Structure 1
Amino acid sequence: MLRCYFHVLNGKRLVDDVGIEVADIEEAKLEAVKFTGTILMTEHPTDIWDGTPWEMKVTDQPSPNRGRTYLTLTVTTGTS
């Protein structure tokens, strides 16, 4: 089992200091996508997107700047 921390890095910067246990990196990926989807469905678009990409960084530490980064999911808007 791995303990993973899911940090949202943008203008709000939401640091996960609790984390969850997952079986492996594949489960961490699934949880990151689910959590990102929840954020996109519950936040007002202007609150989560200020015109710059934001990231969900999955790490092995309760600080996004320490330890090992397992994956980073980047969310951006397209321009026409």
Structure 2
Amino acid sequence: MRLDKFLKVSRIIKRRTVAKEIADKGRIMINDKPAKSSSDVRVGDTLVINFGNKTLTVRADDLVETTKKNDAAGMYTVLKEDYKETF
């Protein structure tokens, strides 16, 4: 499954266009390698997503084409969540 679609369907990022922009700016890594929006995500892959003041590390557990809001959280497991303090 494409990275941008996985992020949208899993609801980690709400819109696919936003997911594409973030990925194409080099702010997402898949298994410690830079990822583009068209990169393939497979079950078991580790994704590191750099938001503005937050870094989210997740593991892809399931890949489905569409999902309901309640089932979206089952597509991934949060491994680590770091916040950068700004003063």
> Is the shorter-chain TM-score for this pair beyond 0.5, marking a shared fold?
no
TM-score, normalisation: structure 1: 0.32
Q: Which has the larger radius of gyration?
A: 1
